Each structure stands twice: as C-alpha cells, then as structure tokens.
Amino acid sequence: MSYAIYIADAFTNERFKGNPAAVCFLDEPCEEEWLQQVAAEMNLSETAFLVPGGESFGLRWFTPEAEVDLCGHATLAAAHILWQTGRLAKDEKACFMTRSGLLTAKLAGEWIEMDFPAETPEAAVAPEELLQGLGLIPRFAGRNRMDYFVEADSEETVRTLQPDFGLLARLPARGVIVTSRADGGGGYDFVSRAFYPGTGIDEDPVTGSAHCALAPYWAKRLRKEELVGFQASSRGGIVKVKPSGDRVYLSGQAVTVLRGQLEE
C-alpha cells in the first residue's frame, strides 16, 4: 500500500524559505508507532497526517521524536496541499479535527487564513534553566499550556541569541518562544525565535502555534488589532496575526517543493 505525501514550505512564498512540513494522506487511521517512524524518516520539524472524515479531516502532527498538540505551519501546509491538488475546491473551507479541537483555514487572495486558539502567556517565574539557557534577563517571562515565553530587550538580541539547547531541553514545557518589538526597519511589528530541543527540534524555522501566544501579547502591548510578525530563523518567515477573543487568526503563504508516494 502507498500513500500520497508532499513537502511544502510554509509561511513563505519562496521555495527553501519558511518552515518545511511533510503532508501525508491516509485512507484510515494508522498505528501511532508507524506514524512516528514516518515522521522520523521525514526528519522535518513536523509531519502532518490527514484522514478524511466527512466534512472534515482528522489531522495529527509529529516531530521526529513526538506527537504535538498544536502546529501552525504543518496545518498551513496541509490546507495548501488540499487546495492545490483539488481535494478541496478553492472556495471550500478546510476543516481539521485535532488534539486542539476544530481548526479551520480558508483562502484569502494569495494568503491562507487559519482560525486557531489563543494561547496567551501568563506571567511566570523564569526557571534557572531558562535564564541560563538563553543567557539574558527577560523584560517579561511567562508561559502558556505549551511553552515558556520571553520578551527580550531588542530585535538584535533576538536575532543574535545563541541558546544552550541542553539546558532548554530540561524545561518542563514543549519549548521556548523569545520575542521583541521590531526595530522598525522591516515592515513588521515584532520578531521572534522558537526553540524545541525537548521534542527534537533545536530551532523551529517558523512556528504558527507560537504566534497564538505572540498575537495576543503584542496586540495588547502595541495596541493594534492586526499585526505582522517575522520569525528570525536562518530561513525566516512572515506570519500575519489578528487576535479575536479566545481565537487568533493566523495568515501565511505556502509553496510545494516535493510530491511523492510513501510505501507502507
């Protein structure tokens, strides 16, 4: 048996930029062990598995080492592939049942807009592993149900950060988001980087789920309803965000780089 599998670069309109994700279409649910083996073989920050289920698709996300509760860039990639391959018509909404509930995506011109849960960070005491692992004194330290969240003093600090991933991997969280206000030169409102060594990803190129925390945080700080974020990894990527109550609208672009068949 074989399954259609794709790789798409998400939160970018350029190949080999943004965040690559594998998207695999299954006929029915498969054993978790096999899904994890496929994700390890793909060796990307996320592999998305889709199973048709009436008006929605079952969607699960795996890093090379673990299943995760929420992933933005692989959801964006999955929606992009659904429309590009004709599995959904351009005017149809993509609906996904996930470990974080129902997530939806729709085409908005050249962008894809996703409806995600807000993951607002609450102030928290920064553990020593976080402070030493980042090597900075935060302007703000907090966390949500998934990640620690740190505001740094400048965009330059965020861009030049060299974390100790061994220390960060000890934290009792999925990972760490580091952010600052943008310096005004790039056309975006804030910058960020995201680190997940505990799940096998030292630095994630562009993290949609991190923007579920970044959006409400910076909307309040900057008093803006719509913002643009730049994730300052080596690949880089743009995420447009619009908080709305307990939800966040994330918008990005995607481009397909590979089509293939996965043999079982």
The residues carrying an active-site annotation are 46
Name the residue among 199, 208, 198, 136 with its Cα closest to residue 168. 198
Q: Which are the contacts of 240, defined by CB distance < 8 A and separation ≥ 6?
A: 111, 226, 227, 228, 229, 250, 251, 252
Neighbour tally for 11: CB within 10 Å: 31
d(CA 234, CA 19) in angstroms, rounded, equals 10
Q: How far is CA 1 from the centre of its chain?
A: 30
Name the residue among 99, 104, 52 with its Cα closest to residue 75. 104
Name the residue among 255, 259, 252, 221 with its Cα closest to residue 106. 252
